[in-house]
């Protein structure tokens, strides 16, 4: 019988994450499934488990032996786990211990269900578009820094009191010059993260598209733009200004951008794999996460009212 291996990622400084992960690992171990964790996670979780539970480190490990990464924490913990899972092409499933948590799949109260679903391989895997980010010191110059992004790339001002002057190009054609606090390029997954706070549109995560959002730009035309997934966005830090910029990927990896620097953003060749337990529509997740009102002022359930209207017979002419 082929052995089964699950990787576990958790926020090691949160007691609720450590406790939930320990219970999860113990249950999987009892079912004959081996659990892999980072060394720092093994250190905090080991005292909560029986000696017989086999814990192994996936730092390093051959990605081919892991079938799934289960994450206990908020979206930040999921993004950290993705730094290993994305290049390894291993699906991620998040247990939400954060606040809104759009990357997470389920709440802690459903961990018992999660165990059974994993044992039975009863989950689906969907793919999410990611971004490839390249920084050059000048147009056509050598690559100085590169990374990927799952949520968004942001070029922001380094000094609070100064804006940055940038030129934004789409597919090699100039779009506009902005004096701005920064520019975001987001994926549909990231449209409910930083881009949402910057007044960008909410995009359904299964879309293939790029989103460009200027941050408080001083310009008549400074609206979010939805682009083709094949588009290339270029942001140039114009020369002649007294400030530099900071390039961030998912709010986790950053580098300085000097004047004359050129940031290129395009679709990454690989997608992020997200494991899902149910097929509830994204609109239901929006309603649940943001607690959107779906009841009228009469306290009538909107869904039942709409169904009742649809059931009414057509009026005779």
Predicted confidence band at 315 (pLDDT cuts at 50, 70, 90)? low
Q: Which residues are catalytic?
A: 75
* Over residues 14-43, mean pLDDT: 95
CATH T-level fold of 131-267 = Tumour Suppressor Smad4 (2.60.200)
Annotated domain spans of the chain: 4-128, 131-267
Helix (H, G, I), strand (E, B) or coil at 146: strand
Q: Tell me the mean pLDDT in the region 64-84.
A: 93
pLDDT greater than 70 at residue 34? yes
In contact, 262 and 136? CB cutoff 8 Å? yes
**Residue 241 near residue 81 (C-beta atoms within 8 A):** no
* pLDDT for the residue 183: 98
Mean pLDDT score of the chain = 91
pLDDT of the residue at 22: 95
Could you tell me what percent of the chain has a pLDDT over 70? 92
pLDDT (average), residues 297-303: 57
Taking 60 as the threshold, does the pLDDT of residue 300 lie above it?
A: no
pLDDT recorded at residue 108: 79
Predicted local distance difference test score (pLDDT) of residue 295: 75
Beta strands in the chain (DSSP E): 4-10, 33-37, 55-57, 68-73, 92-96, 124-128, 131-136, 143-149, 152-157, 164-170, 173-180, 182-186, 210-215, 225-227, 233-237, 245-249, 253-257, 262-267, 272-276
The fold of the 4-128 domain, in CATH, is Rossmann fold (3.40.50)
Token pair in block for residue 211: 């989103």
Confidence (pLDDT) at 304: 63
Q: What is the pLDDT of residue 290?
A: 85
Q: In a 3-state reduction of DSSP, which class is residue 229? A: coil
What pLDDT, in 10s, does the model give residues 120-151? 999 999 999 999 999 999 999 999 999 999 99
In whole angstroms, what is the distance from residue 84 CA to residue 296 CA?
46
Report whether pLDDT(313) > 90: no
The string of pLDDT tens digits covering residues 87-120 is 999 999 999 887 767 888 787 778 889 999 999 9
* Residues 210 and 186 sit within 8 Å (Cβ to Cβ): yes
pTM reported for the whole predicted model: 0.88
Mean pLDDT of all residues in 231-245: 95
Is the predicted pLDDT of residue 59 greater than 80, yes or no?
no
Shared fold status for 4-128 and 131-267: no
Q: Read off the pLDDT band of 69 (50, 70, 90).
A: very high
pLDDT score of 218 more than 80: yes
């Amino acid at each position: 019988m082929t052995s089964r291996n699950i990787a576990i990622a958790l926020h090691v400084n949160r007691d609720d994450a450590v406790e939930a992960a320990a219970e999860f690992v113990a249950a999987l171990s009892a079912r004959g499934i081996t659990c892999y964790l980072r060394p720092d996670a093994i250190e905090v979780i080991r005292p909560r488990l029986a000696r017989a539970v086999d814990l192994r480190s996936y730092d390093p490990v051959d990605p081919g032996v892991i079938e799934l990464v289960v994450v206990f924490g908020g979206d930040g913990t999921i993004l950290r786990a993705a730094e290993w899972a994305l290049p390894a092409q291993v699906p991620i499933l998040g247990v939400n211990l954060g606040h809104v948590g759009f990357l997470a799949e389920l709440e802690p109260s459903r961990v018992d269900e999660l165990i059974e679903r994993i044992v039975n391989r009863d989950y689906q895997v969907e793919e999410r578009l990611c971004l490839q980010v390249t920084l050059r010191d000048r147009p056509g110059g050598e690559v100085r820094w590169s990374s990927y992004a799952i949520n968004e790339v942001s070029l922001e001002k380094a000094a609070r009191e100064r804006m940055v002057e940038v030129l934004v190009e789409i597919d090699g054609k100039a779009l506009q010059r902005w004096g701005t606090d920064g520019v975001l390029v987001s994926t549909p997954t990231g449209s409910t993260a930083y881009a949402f706070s910057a007044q960008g549109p909410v995009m359904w995560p299964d879309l293939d598209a790029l989103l460009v959002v200027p941050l408080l730009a001083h310009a008549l035309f400074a609206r979010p733009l939805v682009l083709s997934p094949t588009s290339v966005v270029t942001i140039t830090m114009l020369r002649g200004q007294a400030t530099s910029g900071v390039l961030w990927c998912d709010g986790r990896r950053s580098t300085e951008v000097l004047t004359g620097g050129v940031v290129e953003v395009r679709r990454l060749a690989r997608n992020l794999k997200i494991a899902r337990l149910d097929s509830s529509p994204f609109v239901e997740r929006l309603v649940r996460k943001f607690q959107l009102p779906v009841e009228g002022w009469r306290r009538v359930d909107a869904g039942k009212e709409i169904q009742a209207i649809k059931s009414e017979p057509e009026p005779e002419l």
